[in-house]
Amino acid sequence: MHDHAQSVSGVRGQANHRLLAISLTLTSLVMIVQVVGAALTGSLALLADAAHMFADASALVIALIASLVAARPANERNTYGYQRAEVFGALINAVLLIALCVWIAVEAIGRLLHPSEQEVAGGLMLAVAVTGLVANAISMWLLSAAQRTSINVRGAYLEVLGDLIGSAVVIVAAIVIWTTGWMPADALASLLIAIMIVPRAITLLREVFAVLGERAPDGTDVATIREHILSAGGVADVHDVHVWQLTRGAPVFTAHVVVEPDVLTSGRSGALLSSLQSCLAEHFDVEHSTFQFEPAGHREHEAH
């Protein structure tokens, strides 16, 4: 017996598509400004932030494509639809971030080893960094609500957050260079940006692997769900309980429920099914649940 209600998509509707498109536009414009600024000032920190912006722009393009793919309806070949496209998009985002970290670290260490080769225009560097900070703040504000329900939008949000922090670090380095002339501040800022990106990339990878590994969503207590099911009238036992996610914010539940004999003979199975599905939706935010009702002793005949 099944609940055929449509499950919640990780990226919900056209509103999120529009937000991602606006954030992509802002990110792309700031990236161009930073590339030009890096060329004019000689700042590695600005160039590193521009490279991060490029990775973010690529990630947002992936997010847009994945969100459009995920919105496609289910069919006979893809019975759950295409929501997992968001997870694969998030995986690509995480890999891009890690590759970016390696590049920034190598360049920064090279400049620290050869400080005499550095010559950075601190004043212009500061102006460009402030522009990036403002643009990143706007993008974060746009994505803040949607990132709570979509793993893919969350990936884009985390990258913009990294850009915001990176812009702040570049601003500090620019002030140091402008006021003191100490050029290694630029390379140190670049290295710090790389160090800050790594934990976010690892966190996103862990979340992706949790979804692909079909682990129970964080905060989901399977034992508590089992207790709720057992407390329903007419339920004798429950087994083969499984909880996983299609993508962030789209949990799926299945279970075999042993019912009292009169539930099947008196026609109360429909009411019990509705009760159990409502319980999962209201208490555990599970909108797609599947229950198999069976009489006592049926489990002994199941293949394991």
Q: In CATH, what number is assigned to the domain containing residue 236?
A: 3.30.70.1350
Sequence-distant (≥ 6) Cβ neighbours of residue 48 within 8 angstroms? 104, 107, 108, 166, 190, 193, 194
Supply the pLDDT for residue 126: 92
- What does the alpha-carbon distance between residue 15 and residue 211 come to, in Å, rounded to a whole number? 24
What is the β-pairing status of strands 235-245 and 288-294?
Answer: unpaired
Supply the pLDDT for residue 5: 38
Supply the pLDDT for residue 254: 87
Supply the pLDDT for residue 95: 86
- For the chain, what is the domain count? 2
Q: Does residue 237 share a domain with residue 146?
A: no
Q: Does residue 183 share a domain with residue 50?
A: yes
What is the domain range of residue 284? 222-301
Identify the burial level of 295 via C-beta atoms within 10 angstroms of its C-beta, where 0-12 means exposed, 13-18 middle and 19 or more buried.
middle
Q: Does residue 266 share a domain with residue 146?
A: no
| Residue 44: CATH number of its domain | 1.20.1510.10
Encode the chain (304 residues) as per-residue pLDDT tens digits: 444 333 334 434 456 667 777 777 888 888 899 889 888 888 888 888 887 777 777 766 766 666 677 677 777 777 676 777 778 877 887 888 888 888 888 888 888 888 766 778 888 999 999 998 998 888 888 877 777 766 667 767 777 887 788 889 899 999 999 999 888 899 999 888 888 778 878 888 888 888 888 887 777 788 888 888 888 888 888 888 888 887 766 788 888 988 888 877 788 888 888 888 888 888 787 878 888 888 876 655 555 5
- What does the alpha-carbon distance between residue 17 and residue 69 come to, in Å, rounded to a whole number? 11
Supply the pLDDT for residue 17: 67
Supply the pLDDT for residue 4: 39
Q: Does residue 228 share a domain with residue 111?
A: no
Supply the pLDDT for residue 300: 56
Q: Does residue 130 share a domain with residue 238?
A: no
Supply the pLDDT for residue 111: 83
